[in-house]
Amino acid sequence: MTEGEKKCEPIKYIPFRSYPSRLYAEMLKKALEKEGIPSLIKSDDIGIMLGSYSTISPVEVMVWVPEKDFKRCEEIADEMLDHI
């Protein structure tokens, strides 16, 4: 590895929170990205084909975050989506 190269560490993702629709999960994902925190959305929906961009989805929509960023994610999510 040269001096300018970074060692790529694997990210350990853990389940964070479940939301009633993909819309809320995507809103949180964008907010986390702005803070430099990667995240994943896992769901059995097929995006907008089932209308999951409405306020309620027929299936669980789970956001996964890096384990090391869990506490910061809680702060961001609580500020942004505390009414859900």
- Specify the 3-state DSSP secondary structure of 74: helix
29, 66 Cβ separation under 8 angstroms: no
- pLDDT tens per residue across span 3-18: 556 678 899 999 999 9
pLDDT value at 46 more than 70: no
Amino acid at site 58:
P
Q: Which CATH class is domain 13-81?
A: alpha beta
Q: Where are the domains of the chain?
A: 13-81
The model's pTM = 0.77
pLDDT for res 52: 45
Q: Which two tokens stand for residue 21?
A: 């629709």
